[in-house]
Structure 1
Amino acid sequence: MTAYAIAHIRPTTMNEDILRYIERIQPTMDPFGGRFLVHGQDVEVLEGPFPGTVVMIGFPDIESARAWYASDVYRAILPLRTDHIEGEVVLVQGVPADYDASKTAAALRAEAGL
């Protein structure tokens, strides 16, 4: 099942380290089947404060996403980003193609006795 690395990146001033990180990230993702789904796009904020932008990378599965983030090749470039950009990064597993939120609601309702 597809998994995602999602980053909420706060506004920052561009510098050489950040540019080197962007230039070098793709080869770190390739062995793990990672590809950018969202990168460098403006966000349309509909609710709440949301300074910055979003980066989303898709992986074939959660194990691949974890292996990429923990890999020596990615860890070698990570400080180029973390030393200059504030934000949060999460890994999350996607849902199957036939996912139905109403079934999840029914299960949660039953579990809560509602």
Structure 2
Amino acid sequence: MTAYALARLLPTEQHPDVIAYIERVQATFAPYGGRFLVHGAQVEVVEGDWEGDVVLVAFPDLDAARAWYASDAYQEILPLRTRHIPGDLIFLPGVPEDYDASKFAAKLRASLPA
């Protein structure tokens, strides 16, 4: 099942290390089947508060996402970003193609006290 790496990167001044990171990061995805879905997009906030840019990368599954993050190739360039851009990175699993939210709601409803 498709998994995602989602980053929220807070605004900072540009730094040459960050540009070097951007130049090299995509090549680190290839062995793990990763691909950008969103890269550096400014968000349109419709609820709540949000600051920063979004990066969303799809991987074939969580194991591939974890393997990419732990890879020597990625770990080598990671400090180029983390030394200069604060933010958050999470991994999350997708849902199956036949996912039905109403079935999930039914399970939740069944778990409510009578």
Q: Do these two structures clear the TM 0.5 threshold for a shared fold by scoring above it?
A: yes
User: Match for 1:87: what amino acid?
Assistant: G
Distance 1:53 1:25 in 2: 16
Q: What's the TM-score, normalizing by structure 1?
A: 0.96
Counterpart residue number, 1:85: 85
Counterpart residue number, 1:20: 20
Instruction: Provide Cα deviations, 1:28-84, integer angstroms capped at 9, x if missing partner.
Output: 111000000000222110011111111000001111001000111100000001101
Q: What's the TM-score, normalizing by structure 2?
A: 0.96
Counterpart residue number, 1:36: 36
Counterpart residue number, 1:52: 52
Counterpart residue number, 1:94: 94
2:5 aligns to what SS in structure 1?
strand
Distance 2:67 2:112 in 1: 36
Counterpart residue number, 2:109: 109
1:105 aligns to what SS in structure 2?
helix
Distance 2:100 2:113 in 1: 20
Unaligned runs of 5+ in 1: none
Distance 2:30 2:55 in 1: 16
Instruction: Provide Cα deviations, 1:5-37, integer angstroms capped at 9, x if missing partner.
Output: 000111111110000000000111110000000
Unaligned runs of 5+ in 2: none
Alpha-carbon RMSD:
0.9
Counterpart residue number, 2:9: 9
Q: Percent identity?
A: 59
